[in-house]
Chain A
Amino acid sequence: MDVVLLERIDAGQFRPPTSAPAWFNAVFGEATSLSPIQPGRRSLFLGHFLEDAEVFWSAAQPEQWISSGTFNERLPDGGEKALEAIALVASGTPILLIKSPTTDHETVRDLLQKSRSQSIEYGRMIKEINKREVLLHCIVHDLSTPLAGVKGSLELMKADDLLLPDGARLQQIGMNQVLKMQNMIQEILHAFKAEVKGLVPTVIDRDAGPDALSCAREVTTALSGLARDVAVGLRVEEDASVQDFSVSADQSRLERVIFNLVDNAIRFAPPGSDVIVKVRSDGEWIEMRIEDAGPGVEPSLRPRLFQRFEQGDSGKGSAGLGLYFCRITVADWGGSIGYDDRPQGGASFWLKLPKPRT
């Protein structure tokens, strides 16, 4: 028997059940006579819930009920029993139901166990990734120190006129290579700084969130200079029938995700073409599409597109962490990200984000 039904006689007092399962007797004591039982005295949690139940019973309407949520009681044998109490009114009589776990409860518990274990493991993995990348960052950073020494020496050779006739040409070649290497180091350091920072999990408010359309506009404004430099048009198109574009996400990271996708699109768009950020509502989701008229993504690369260190053969991307960052960030918010070919040619990256709960 999974449910025990108790009829309220007075505050905290209930008519004993005609028959009760072993777990009920173990937790709440065996009823030895027809005298009322007081289960709230045997279980502090139930005593606490009965305070709420008394308030509920005083004004309850038919078909209304309140639940205690799951609580765990220790058994005399050292084991534990998960229970739930429900207060309701039936035929004008206040009733307290005490239930043992249902299949649903077991399923929920197993799912929570699995999800939380994975979440903790994910956190550990991210930490490990960060450690390695910070190490790499340090190594790259350390390379810049001797490089500065080489550059200084080359400059002195020229300034102090220490060069043989052919030396000036070789000195210039050396300087060019040093400057190129310094630029590469700067690019790598910038990429790691932004991307490694983005991998740390955050807590978001599921009941409110940033406006996806505003975020898209912020990003396109920030990238308008870059787009202009390469003669690419950049604009946002929103579904005018939608009033609210808020999503369950963290604003700064959402802007970073959109930034990565729009930045990529600008890099691959041919001069004279447009990059368009489309924002629309799709049921419980807000969908954003970042479209360009570039070459699109090669079919062979698509299965690995959102994995780490994938940047295609063009070398136009950064360290290959950008799309990976987008995927894990969006997934952490309960959303999804993907890629489609644009029918008229070009790439269409999309992301779907959940709307806030309320």
Chain B
Amino acid sequence: MIQKKICMLGTSGVGKTSLVERFVNDSFSEKYLTTVGVRLSNKIVEIGEQAIELVLWDLNGEDKFQRVSTSYLRGASAYFLVIDGSRPATEETALVLHRRTRATIGDVPFIILLNKSDLSNEWEVSQEMLDRYDSNDWVARRTSARTGEGVQSAFQEIAQLALTSTLS
């Protein structure tokens, strides 16, 4: 079976671990538990007739307390940049990580996840942010690890991107 390494990148508290939990185990916890180091999970998805095992590298959040080690990125077929849609400042770290990832492993496909879409009263994703993604041809999706909105389809989409990238 084809195996694809997918990294979860973003600052702390944006919901990387919760997205993985929702996707792999279809569960969600309201309690915030910080990730120290790396946690690997896997799940098989099907793209057409092709079964793919996604190995999800849930990396610690990058912030003033910890940096993400670039050695963890080696061999990644694709990555998610996770942004908390209720905290637009979290985009800054995502873009820093994006630049570092490209410098380390090159032009690997990625998807921006605007997470916590269930917090509709707090939602602060601006048109300016969306226009910036459009103008760069970046794919951005709204997700909610709490409700599950957009989560399965985002992982399915990244599996497709990882597979297409390998074939091309």
A52, B71: Cβ atoms closer than 8 Å: yes
A72, B39: Cβ atoms closer than 8 Å: yes
B32, A117: Cβ atoms closer than 8 Å: yes
B56-89: contact bitstring with A at CB < 8 Å (1 yes, 0 no)?
0000010111100101101100000000000101
B37, A113: Cβ atoms closer than 8 Å: no
Q: Can you pick out 30 interface pairs between chain A and chain B where the beta carbons lie within 8 Å of each other?
A: A44-B42, A45-B40, A48-B72, A48-B74, A51-B74, A52-B71, A69-B38, A69-B72, A70-B36, A71-B40, A72-B37, A72-B39, A82-B36, A82-B37, A84-B37, A105-B36, A108-B36, A109-B36, A112-B36, A115-B65, A116-B61, A117-B32, A120-B12, A120-B13, A123-B89, A127-B122, A202-B89, A202-B92, A203-B92, A203-B93
Q: Tell me if A90 counts as interface (CB < 8 A to partner B).
A: no
Q: Tell me if B161 counts as interface (CB < 8 A to partner A).
A: no
B37, A112: Cβ atoms closer than 8 Å: no
Q: Tell me if A201 counts as interface (CB < 8 A to partner B).
A: yes
Q: Tell me if A278 counts as interface (CB < 8 A to partner B).
A: no
Of chain A, the residue at the smallest CB distance from B91 is A203
A74 cross-chain contacts in B, Cβ below 8 A: 41
B63 cross-chain contacts in A, Cβ below 8 A: 116, 119
Q: Tell me if A230 counts as interface (CB < 8 A to partner B).
A: no
Highest count of chain A CB atoms <10 Å: which of B40, B63, B74: B40
B71, A113: Cβ atoms closer than 8 Å: no
Q: Tell me if B167 counts as interface (CB < 8 A to partner A).
A: no
B92, A69: Cβ atoms closer than 8 Å: no
How many residues of B are counted as interface, with CB atoms below 8 angstroms from the partner's CB atoms?
Answer: 31
B37, A69: Cβ atoms closer than 8 Å: yes
B18-54: contact bitstring with A at CB < 8 Å (1 yes, 0 no)?
0000000000000011111111111000000000000
Q: Tell me if B125 counts as interface (CB < 8 A to partner A).
A: no
- State in angstroms the CA–CA spacing of A202 and B87 once bound together: 11
B35 cross-chain contacts in A, Cβ below 8 A: 72
Q: Tell me if B55 counts as interface (CB < 8 A to partner A).
A: yes
Q: Tell me if B96 counts as interface (CB < 8 A to partner A).
A: yes
Within 8 A of A (CB), among B73-131: 74-75, 87, 89, 92-93, 96, 122
A123 cross-chain contacts in B, Cβ below 8 A: 87, 89
- State in angstroms the CA–CA spacing of A71 and B13 once bound together: 18
Within 8 A of B (CB), among A82-129: 82, 84, 105, 108-109, 112-113, 115-117, 119-120, 123, 127
Of chain A, the residue at the smallest CB distance from B67 is A206
Of chain B, the residue at the smallest CB distance from A101 is B36
Since A43-B40, A69-B37, A127-B122 are in contact, a sample of 8 more A-B pairs with Cβ atoms closer than 8 Å, ordered by chain A residue number, is A48-B72, A69-B72, A72-B38, A82-B36, A109-B36, A112-B34, A119-B63, A120-B13
- State in angstroms the CA–CA spacing of A204 and B55 once bound together: 32
A203 cross-chain contacts in B, Cβ below 8 A: 11, 89, 92-93, 96
Of chain B, the residue at the smallest CB distance from A333 is B64
Q: Given contacts A116-B65, A120-B32, A203-B96, are A70 and B55 in contact (CB under 8 A)?
A: no
- State in angstroms the CA–CA spacing of A14 and B152 once bound together: 39
Q: Given contacts A201-B89, A203-B89, are A116 and B37 in contact (CB under 8 A)?
A: no
Q: Given contacts A123-B87, A123-B89, A203-B89, are A71 and B39 in contact (CB under 8 A)?
A: yes
